């Protein structure tokens, strides 16, 4: 749905905290009856049929606590969310998403960079009805928030990528599917569309090639022992923020770029068939980083098949694996998971970085849909990206997970926007924890902001509902804080609303 949405209703529809008790008297019966009938938490209707009331979620959380005694499914404090996730998740799973490279200097620097930018609110401005919508590559999105591509989500909760994709779809947030996912792309699409996955037909499927991408669905091979939807733990919904109509899930595809062009062609063909709108090419993860928290426990999920679902379900990769291992008698991926994992890792984490001229191959395979490069930190690379013909870049240091000591992403954002913002869609990633963080990045010139770890913490704590609650809370904070800042639309955010102040003692971080 491309129409712009506002975060609040018209003047007569604005939430009024002074009338909250009176409203509760009128609505308590309706909410209680609905909740009892559906065995879920209270659900608040959207204020206006044309808008998602992002800020209303704050009122709903108060209403839920005051009328039912139920607290939020996860904490709303970004500094406490990490600890709550640590207590709920397995040690290895938590360390994998929490941990950074080396001594985590870049991860901490990302947070310090946000703290050194202070907002300057403006007063006596009409900020209603607010409109959080942004236009990216010719399409209007309801908000400037995107779900960052994060792999191996089965390590955090059985709901995994499907759970986060559903949470994003419920709030009309684009979900970026990771090459390192633990769930095949087609399985997620089927879950979002509430249809059964297509039946595999390997007998008639044409192998993909770099010259001519396939248009048929790949063979799907769920990992042995994978939980089905019916056997997964189920938690009651806590999100009271709902769209006005059935959402049209927006999905993008993130590529860890294989060495083999045939495999690349097959993956991109599948993404196109699955309806992925934008290709996000991650540039900074062609090899594994030095991550002490994982090294000390020996946790490398890709080595044992976890996070390899996209490759293991790909017909071209499977055929190449069969050809390579046919003499051993273990010529199917399922026959030798360790060998298949090494082969797949050798493709996507080969240690060999692609070159700028190789982008022409991606353009040929992806066609005229937008291509975005993720991991750009230098002005020089941003200029090269503009010259290469891609459509956008994401200023990112991979959340401090790749090169320890790298410059904070936010530090480079203004320079990069000044250099190429008129030629490329510049987006931002790394270190985002709060709604005000989102506003700061937008004010510095980003057109959209990716959020990662907080949503995964919500997933680890309470599955799909936890991820949805974290996203809804972030949207509500963006909405409310934008109003307090004195802005009615995202387009009004600019650098005049910020000042960089480096306090020597301002070292507290929310990680």
Rounded Cα gap, residues 135 and 192, in angstroms: 23
In DSSP notation, 446-492 reads -S-EEE-HHHHHHHHHHHHHHHHHHHHHHHHHHHHHHHHHT-SBGGG
Extract the tokens encoding 341: 């994992």
Instruction: Report the b/e string of 161-188 with b at 16+ CB within 10 A.
Output: bbbbbbbbbbbbbbbbbbbbbbbbbbbb
Task: Give the list of residues 6+ apart from residue 447 with CB closer than 8 angstroms, or none.
Answer: 134, 136, 144, 392, 425, 426, 427
In DSSP notation, 124-156 reads S----S-B--EEETTEEESSSEEEPP---GGGT
Q: Among 179, 213, 176, which residue's Cα sits nearest to residue 361? A: 213
Q: Among 176, 175, 179, 181, which residue's Cα sits nearest to residue 155? A: 181
Task: Give the list of residues 6+ apart from residue 503 with CB closer than 8 angstroms, or none.
Answer: 116
Extract the tokens encoding 246: 């059935």
Q: Which residues pair with 495 in a beta bridge?
A: none
For residue 254, what are the CA distances in angstroms to 349, 369, 421?
14, 13, 22
Task: Give the list of residues 6+ apart from residue 67 with CB closer than 8 angstroms, or none.
Answer: 24, 28, 31, 32, 42
Could you list the active site residues? 398
Instruction: Report the b/e string of 44-53 with b at 16+ CB within 10 A.
Output: bebbbeebbb
Asked whether the beta carbons of 284 and 255 are under 8 A apart, the reply is no
Element (H, E) at 338: helix 337-348
Rounded Cα gap, residues 161 and 211, in angstroms: 31
Backbone phi, then psi, for 232, in 5-degree steps?
Answer: -75, 150
Q: Which residues pair with 395 in a beta bridge?
A: 376, 428
Rounded Cα gap, residues 3 and 26, in angstroms: 32
């Amino acid at each position: 749905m491309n129409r712009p949405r506002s975060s609040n209703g018209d003047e007569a529809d604005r939430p009024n905290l002074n009338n909250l008790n009176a409203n509760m008297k009128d609505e308590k019966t309706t909410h209680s009856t609905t909740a009892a009938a559906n065995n879920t938490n209270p659900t608040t209707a959207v204020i206006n049929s044309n808008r998602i009331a992002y800020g209303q979620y704050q009122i709903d959380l108060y209403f839920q606590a005051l009328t039912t005694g139920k607290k939020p499914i996860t904490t709303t404090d970004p500094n406490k969310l990490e600890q709550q996730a640590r207590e709920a998740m397995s040690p290895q799973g938590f360390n994998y998403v929490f941990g950074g490279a080396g001594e985590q200097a870049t991860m901490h620097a990302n947070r310090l960079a946000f703290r050194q930018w202070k907002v300057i609110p403006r007063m006596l401005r009409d900020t209603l009805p607010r409109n959080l919508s942004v236009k990216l590559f010719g399409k209007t999105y309801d908000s400037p928030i995107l779900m960052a591509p994060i792999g191996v989500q089965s390590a955090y909760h059985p709901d995994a990528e499907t759970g986060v994709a559903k949470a994003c779809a419920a709030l009309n947030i684009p979900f970026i599917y990771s090459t390192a996912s633990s769930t095949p792309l087609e399985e997620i699409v089927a879950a979002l569309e509430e249809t059964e996955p297509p039946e595999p037909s390997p007998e008639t499927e044409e192998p993909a090639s770099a010259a001519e991408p396939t248009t048929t669905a790949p063979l799907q091979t769920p990992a042995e022992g994978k939980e089905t939807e019916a056997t997964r733990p189920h938690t009651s919904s806590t999100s009271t923020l709902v769209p006005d109509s059935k959402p049209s899930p927006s999905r993008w595809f993130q590529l860890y770029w294989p060495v083999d062009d045939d495999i690349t062609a097959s993956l991109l063909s599948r993404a196109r068939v699955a309806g992925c709108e934008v290709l996000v090419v991650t540039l900074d993860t062609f090899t594994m980083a030095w991550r002490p928290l994982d090294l000390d426990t020996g946790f490398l999920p890709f080595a044992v098949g976890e996070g390899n679902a996209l490759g293991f379900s790909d017909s071209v990769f499977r055929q190449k694996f069969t050809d390579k291992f046919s003499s051993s008698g273990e010529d199917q991926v399922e026959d030798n998971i360790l060998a298949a994992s090494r082969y797949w890792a050798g493709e996507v984490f080969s240690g060999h970085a692609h070159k700028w001229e190789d982008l022409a191959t991606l353009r040929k395979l992806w066609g005229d849909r937008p291509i975005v490069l993720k991991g750009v930190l230098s002005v020089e690379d941003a200029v090269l990206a503009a010259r290469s013909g891609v459509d956008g870049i994401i200023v990112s240091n991979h959340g401090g997970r790749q090169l320890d000591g790298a410059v904070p992403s936010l530090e480079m954002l203004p320079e990069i926007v000044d250099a190429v913002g008129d030629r490329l869609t510049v987006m931002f990633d790394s270190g985002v924890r709060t709604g005000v963080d989102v506003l700061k990045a937008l004010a510095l010139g980003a057109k959209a902001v990716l959020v990662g770890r907080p949503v995964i913490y919500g997933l680890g704590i309470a599955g799909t509902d936890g991820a949805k609650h974290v996203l809804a809370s972030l949207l509500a904070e963006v909405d409310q804080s934008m109003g307090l800042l004195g802005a009615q639309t995202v387009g009004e955010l600019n650098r005049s609303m910020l000042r960089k102040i480096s306090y020597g003692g301002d070292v507290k971080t929310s990680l």
